[in-house]
A and B are shown apart, each in its own frame.
Chain A
Amino acid sequence: DGGITQSPKYLFRKEGQNVTLSCEQNLNHDAMYWYRQDPGQGLRLIYYSQIVNDFQKGDIAEGYSVSREKKESFPLTVTSAQKNPTAFYLCASSSQTGTGNTIYFGEGSWLTVV
């Protein structure tokens, strides 16, 4: 079945460590996104990519990094510079940005700093 796969579902990180969240899609979508979700704050855009080898910062990019070397993959690295990384992270994709296209979401990854 087509969809978006995020891994791992749960991840624990010690302070000072970088961690990478995986996101793979087999929908042949050009655009991919990373959102952070905190209780009561809705979804906030971290990074997005409209095409391979290109990506743009979203509203809260500080402390995060991404790459887009393949169309189907858009991993997110949470660096030690991110002061409050404990959150639910959602990867998403759409055929392209804009034009009213539906955004499809993965099942999410929980990151907890211990």
Chain B
Amino acid sequence: AQSVTQLDSQVPVFEEAPVELRCNYSSSVSVYLFWYVQYPNQGLQLLLKYLSGSTLVKGINGFEAEFNKSQTSFHLRKPSVHISDTAEYFCAVSRKGGSYIPTFGRGTSLIVHP
């Protein structure tokens, strides 16, 4: 079985400050990892994903994430946030091999203050 834990339900931050949203996963096999963003009253859209290769993954809107196998983590970072980054962020994990459906975390609400 696979599981994912987003350690913070809410992260408040001031505009232009850096931010890190934390994600840890549990799986007995190799995994694919994803970060999605959801703006209010909308569906989710992919920010970035890790499939293999370089552990530092760059995504849209200036976000990046680093896969750390030893710590089973995939934290999302942005060096300088904007008001428009206020949204819900979801981490997801999927086992490699076979037709596994990704498991989503409970989400982290990023609130950017002016």
Contact = CB atoms under 8 A, between A and B. Distances in A.
Given A45-B101, A108-B42, A40 B106 contact: yes
A108 B43 contact: yes
Interface residues of B, number: 25
Interface residues of A, number: 25
Given A42-B107, A100-B94, A105 B43 contact: yes
Contact of A98 (B34, B36, B94, B107): B94
Most chain B Cβ neighbours within 10 Å, of A42, A92, A102, A104: A42
A15 interface: no
A58 B101 contact: yes
Contacts of B99: 50, 96-99
Interface centre among B32, B96, B97, B104, by most chain A C-beta atoms within 10 angstroms, is: B104
B42 to A, nearest CB: 6
Interface string B11-49: 000000000000000000000101010000111111001
B101 A97 contact: yes
A16 B107 CA distance: 32
Nearest to A105: B43
Contacts of B101: 33, 45, 48, 58, 97-98
Contacts, number: 56
| Residue of B44, B45, B49 contacting most chain A CB atoms (<10 Å) | B44
A99 B106 CA distance: 23
Contacts of A4: 43
A108 B94 contact: no
Interface of A: 4, 33, 35, 40-43, 45, 48, 50, 58, 90, 92, 96-100, 102-108
Report the 6 A-B pairs with minimum CB-CB distance, sorted nearest first. A105-B43, A97-B99, A42-B106, A100-B32, A98-B99, A43-B104
Given A98-B99, A105-B43, 6 more contacts: A40-B9, A40-B107, A48-B101, A90-B43, A98-B100, A102-B34
6 contacts: A35-B104, A42-B90, A99-B99, A100-B51, A100-B94, A106-B43
